[in-house]
Amino acid sequence: MSDSVSEADDLGGPLLVTPAGSVIVATDALLASADRLRALEAALHADSRRVVAADSIASGMPIEGIVPTLERLRARCEGARDAFGRIAEDYTRAEAAIERAQRDLAAAIAAIVGPAVVGYLARMILLCPGLLLAGALLGWAAIPDGPDGRLGTVRDFMIAHPELITTPAFVRFVSLVVTSIDDAVLGGIGVPPWLVALPGLELSPGGGVAAGALTVAALGSMLGMFRETPVSVDRVSTAPVAQPPTGVRERLDRIPEVNQVRIEKYEADGMPPRYTVYVGPTETFSPFATDEPWDSTSNVHGVAGLSPGSFRAVELAMADAGIRPGDEVLVTGFSQGGLIATMVAGSGDWNVVGLETYGAPAGNIPVPAGVSGMAIRNTDDLVPAFAGPQLEHDLMQVERRAFREGVEIPDTQAAPAHQRTAYERTATAIDDAESAAVQAQIRALDAFAADYLDRPGGQATAMTYRATRD
């Protein structure tokens, strides 16, 4: 482990890696073992060839039994490497089968209860919208009003009981719920449950995720919540950059907060500029829009596939920084910042060649082919689950449990597996990964900026932006 997080301080589990272009999930340790066996197999094969060559020019040497021995060792390495591959494939198939069964069951349940729920809500809205509003207000009023108000009461309860939401099982449950909302709608309009459970009937590519977020936005707007506004952006600082980031942890450390966007411009003699865009996390979780665009309104509208204020603010900042459609861009974001970074990559309006996200609720956002990078998630972090399972893309997926089983979960912040400190530990574990696939991806992301500063005339400038709702 690196100096920033000692082995004793690291509370998380092993890294789970899905390389780009693969559906096979394996631990970093398993991939590293396969790498070592592959290298040993190649070395034994080379030794065998050298022995044969030596035998041809120095007859009579007692080396007759060396080649068969080397070949047996090489075959054992090959067999062990293949066994590791079969273990990873079997694990992936089993996990996929379990997930399919869970989603089919969730779809059937949603289709069965959908008619009753949708019908009831429709009657409430059509016959007595005031009663629906009154019920929502009564439910909110039933929450005790703590020192910081009712939101503070909810927050304090969640902080005191982190174990309720900080498990991979709960995260899977949340993902099943958000992807089953469209099944409830189909059931509500009369589609038979057995038909709803068939593949291909999703209302959106990410299942019911976008439909669910649209429903939340629509119902919330009746109470004045999740209402989008225009945004404006101001550049608050411009400063030289001494060194490019090296490794996952250093890129995470450059993601801003309060001032929500940081853009670094890299220049070199005779070369077009390159840009790295860092997008910050949610600043306020209030469902009522104020002057902060990094809020719950942007979260809901982003997952719904709409145009959230934070996304528009990032595009305004990119334009102010001088980024043109053809300029190469690497986008990095944490939490909501990862959602917005993925939306920037998926918009098609910018030449995004690299993407790195941490804890992003962006699984249902399509990423164009050819965009490389990493999607990093803690498996006990519920926030990414609000966007459902990850759509296929060319990013490497790296996951791990922030708090392995048996470790005491801290009760000082809500959703501890989603906190920056938890992702700092995960980022450090990724930097320390042993497998060649992970290290190759880290080097590729590092090279985006380092290549320019190593050239004649290489220089970099950082611009920081603060966005507000109008």
Strands 328-334 and 351-358, bridge-based pairing:
parallel
Choose the weakest-confidence range: 123-137, 175-189, 416-430: 123-137
Q: Report percent pLDDT > 70 for the chain.
A: 70
Token pair for 49: 């060839």
Among the residue ranges 126-140, 146-160, 398-412, the one predicted with the least confidence is: 126-140
pLDDT for the residue 156: 74
pLDDT of residue 126: 44
∠ CA 430-434-439 to the nearest 5 degrees?
A: 60
pLDDT computed for residue 125 by the predictor? 47
> What is the Cβ-side half-sphere exposure of residue 360, based on CA atoms within 13 angstroms?
30
Q: Where are the domains of the chain?
A: 31-94, 104-221, 231-409+416-469
pLDDT, one tens digit per residue, over 176-205 is: 777 766 555 555 545 555 455 555 555 454
Q: What is the pLDDT of residue 222?
A: 85
333-365 as b/e, with b when 16 or more CB fall inside 10 Å? Answer: bbbbbbbbbbbbbbeeebebbbbbbbbbbbbbb
How much is the pLDDT for 128?
53
pLDDT band at 43 (very low <50, low <70, confident <90, very high): confident
- Give me the pLDDT at residue 349, please: 95
Q: Label residue 148 by pLDDT band (50, 70, 90).
A: low
What's the confidence (pLDDT) of residue 443? 95
At 55-102, the pLDDT tens digits run: 555 555 555 667 677 677 767 777 776 776 667 666 666 666 666 665
Q: What is the pTM of this model?
A: 0.80
DSSP class of residue 7 equals T
Q: What is the pLDDT of residue 389?
A: 80
Point out the least confidently predicted range of 86-90, 159-163, 331-335: 86-90
Distance (Å) of CA 385 to CA 288, 332, 438: 23, 19, 24
Beta strands, E only, 190-316: 231-240, 261-267, 274-279
Alpha-carbon span 46 to 125, nearest angstrom: 76
Confidence (pLDDT) at 3: 43
Listing DSSP states for 290-356 in one string gives -S-SSSHHHHHHHHTTS--HHHHHHHHHHHHTT--TTSEEEEEEETHHHHHHHHHHHHSSSEEEEEE
Does the structure show a pLDDT above 80 at 30?
Answer: no
DSSP element (H, E) containing 17: strand 16-18
434: exposed, middle or buried (Cβ count in 10 Å: 0-12, 13-18, 19+): middle
Whether 146 has a pLDDT exceeding 70, the answer reads: no
β-sheet with 396-400: strand ranges across: 26-27, 16-18, 396-400, 372-378, 351-358, 328-334, 274-279, 261-267, 459-469, 231-240
Paired strand residues for 149: 146
| Structure confidence at residue 316 as a pLDDT band (50, 70, 90) | very high
In this prediction, residue 190 carries a pLDDT of 55
- Rounded CA gap, 430 and 378, in Å? 12
Confidence of residue 399 (pLDDT cuts 50, 70, 90): very high
Average pLDDT, the chain: 81
> What is the predicted pLDDT for the residue at 252?
98
- Greater pLDDT, 114 or 307: 307
How far apart are the C-alpha atoms of 344 and 322, rounded to whole Å? 16
Query: For 167, how many CA atoms within 13 A lie in the half-sphere containing its CB?
Result: 10
Residue 435, pLDDT > 50, answer yes
